[in-house]
Amino acid sequence: MRTEEVNGGPGRHNFLPEQYERTARSEINHNYLRQQFSDYKEVFKRLEVLLENGDFTLGRAVDEFERNFSALTGTKYAVGVGSGTDALLLSLKALGVDKGDEVITTPYTFFATVGAIVTAGAKPVFVDIGEDYNIDPKKIEAAITERTRVILPVHWAGLVADMDAIQTVATRHGLEIVEDACHAITATYRGRLAGSFGATGCFSMHPLKNLNVWGDGGVIVTNREDLHQRLVLLRNHGLINRDYCEVWAYNSRLDTLQAIVANHTMEKKLSNIGDSRIRNADYLDRALRGTTGVTIPGRPADQRHVYHLYVIRVERRDELLKFLVDRGIDAKIHYPVPMHLQPASRDFGYKAGDFPNAEKVCNTVISLPVHEYVRQEQLEYMAASVKAFFE
């Protein structure tokens, strides 16, 4: 790939409409932000206070947000940061991860998980996934070396990884856990909330996540006082006060504006967002189960899956994708190429066949929209369309 292709060449723009074109044309859409933020006038009132106070970064609303968020996740501390990616990066740095260290993670994730490990200076070591799309705890031990520092599970699609088993391995080998909970806000595993298991739990508030703001935003939760203090330093230049720097660090503060939007969404809508996604997913599970060519993953009874994505596996995936798109359904592939086979992973020494489960999943998954603005007749139409394809 040439640089011009990568960067869009002369005359490129940051806004790339082609990327959104299919979504914009579809009748049943993955993107619902105009509807979700239709009450923006209420938020504007809260923003007037921001303009009067002038506390644009790390302002009063950020304190309020952090209190709300730690209560929501059942943790002692929350630290608002610039993005979900930064939440992961700062967590690794707060744990002392550096050059020469290894971090164990899944090859079936969004790029940010691996990007954070690499930009922290460490090497990602991949471990294959299980039937639930999450890292397979039984395979972690074989990947541990004397350089391993952290296990970084991703709660894919909104289903928490098998944290009891992961914690057992981590404890046995003296490793830390950082949870990538970007898909999993308010998901639970055996009664405990996503983000509360690891040394830290990392969340994104990107517009397409379940708790979303008007741009980028992220948050880290932890129960550990030492990590909390470290994270507060790392997100704000390492400053202990205006004049003294304790450690050379980053600028990754949560904007007060975004904290105001997040507070609004948490108060007014978050429980509805989760509940309607679960209801819609349950409907599709029931409607599609038993269809030849379709596999609905098992849903553990002791977990609350929050369906950031509704992901099923199908035969003839690429044909089905086209079929659904032609019928106005914004079906998507999250994601077609696993992390170990990305061009950026070329120096890590992996090859096709190394993680057969992840590779198979990347070739067979398809996601259907289940957000809170998908209507019952649209769910029925999606299920009927998938069935029609296979009949």
Ligand X SMILES: *Cc1c(COP(=O)(O)O)cnc(C)c1O
Q: 243-251: long-range contacts (C-beta < 8 A, 24 or more apart)? A: 249/93, 250/86, 250/89, 250/90, 251/82
- 280 sits near ligand X (criterion: CB under 6 A): no
132 near ligand X, judged by CB under 6 A: no
Nearest distance, CB of residue 182 and ligand X, angstroms: 4
109 counts as binding ligand X under rule CB under 6 A: yes
- 378 is a contact residue toward ligand X (CB under 6 A): no
The smaller minimum CB distance to ligand X, of residues 206 and 235, is found at: 206
Q: Which residue has the tokens 């705890």?
A: 137
CB nearer ligand X, residue 148 or residue 204: 204
Closest CA to 221 of 72, 59, 57: 72
Sequence-separated (6 or more) residues with CB below 8 Å from residue 105: 113, 114, 117, 124, 125, 126, 127, 135, 151, 152, 153, 154, 180
Q: Quick one: which of 30, 93, 149, 206 contacts ligand X (CB under 6 A)?
A: 206
Six-digit token string for 297: 């993953």
Looking at beta carbons only, is 124 or 379 nearer to ligand X?
Answer: 124
Residue with the closest Cβ to ligand X? 84
Q: Tell me the window of 92-100, 175-183, 243-251, 316-324 that interacts with ligand X (CB under 6 A).
A: 175-183
* Residues in contact with 363: Cβ distance below 8 Å, sequence separation at least 6, in sequence order: 317, 336
- Output 95 or 182, the one with its CB closest to ligand X: 182
User: Interface with ligand X includes 236 (CB under 6 A)?
Assistant: no
Of 105-113, 224-232, 264-272, 274-282, which part binds ligand X (CB under 6 A)? 105-113
Using rule CB under 6 A, residue 212 touches ligand X: no
Q: Is the peptide bond before 335 cis (omega within 30 degrees of 0)?
A: yes
| CB closer to ligand X out of 88 and 312 | 88
Contact (Cβ atoms closer than 8 angstroms) between residue 183 and residue 158: yes
| Binder of ligand X out of 30, 183, 264, 305 (CB under 6 A) | 183
Give me the phi and psi of 216, to 5 degrees please.
-95, 150
Nearer to ligand X, 86 or 136 (CB): 86
When asked if residue 83 is in the footprint of ligand X (CB under 6 A), the reply is yes
Q: Does 332 bind ligand X (CB under 6 A)?
A: no
154 binds ligand X, rule: CB under 6 A: yes
Among 218, 274, 338, 369, binds ligand X (CB under 6 A): 218
Nearest-approach distance from CB 183 to ligand X, in angstroms: 5
Pair 30, 369: CB distance under 8 Å = yes
Q: What is the residue type of 340?
A: H
Contact 155, 209 (CB under 8 A): no
Pairing of strands 294-295, 200-204: unpaired
Contacts of residue 194, defined as CB under 8 A and 6 or more positions apart, other chains included, come to 73, 155, 160, 179, 181, 184, 185, 186, 187, 188, 201
252 binds ligand X (CB under 6 A): no
Tell the smallest beta-carbon distance from residue 357 to ligand X (Å).
18
> Which parts of this chain interact with ligand X (CB under 6 A)?
83-85, 109-110, 112-113, 154, 180, 182-183, 204, 206, 216, 218
